[in-house]
Amino acid sequence: MAYESGIMTSIQEQDNYFVQKADALGRPGLKPYQKITAAMRILAYGVGADATDEYIKIGESTAIESLRSPNAEDIERLLHIGKQRGFSGMLGSLDCMHWGWKNCPTAWAGQYTGRSGRPTIILEAVADYDMWIWHARL
């Protein structure tokens, strides 16, 4: 549990959005774990933001907010870190992988089958040194 708390604390230090707040009536809002789990499920499994409502009890708009784009402060911080490490102008690392597509429609299978002999989708992701995922595309 201490490891999980450390991850959550680090995320909350980076982005105030993940801190639990009270709503207009003073009731506690969504828990940080709900917001973080929603963001992770969207990125890891490629589920739509509206699919998080059923599993995590979090609305689509809230799930989308948890995947916010970098702001000017974030970009400045990353460029500074990149320059210190000898990579001037670098925001993060790009990586791609083939992800097996188990439920690929039969009609599309030929278009998505590569050397592996089975349908795959290419996952492209950009992450900074903190492992903050800035971009992910299927």
- Specify the DSSP class assigned to residue 117: S
| Per-residue model confidence (pLDDT) at position 1 | 42
| Per-residue model confidence (pLDDT) at position 130 | 63
Average pLDDT over residues 43-55: 71
Q: pTM surpassing 0.85?
A: no
Average pLDDT over residues 104-117: 85
Q: How many CB atoms lie within 10 A of CB 20?
A: 13
Q: How high is the mean pLDDT of the chain?
A: 77
| Extents of the domains making up the chain | 2-65, 91-137
- 3-class SS of residue 62: helix
| Per-residue model confidence (pLDDT) at position 134 | 64
Average pLDDT over residues 78-83: 86
Instruction: Using a pLDDT cut of 90, give the percent of the chain over it.
Output: 0
Sheet containing 120-127: which strands, arranged edge to edge? 93-100, 120-127, 133-137
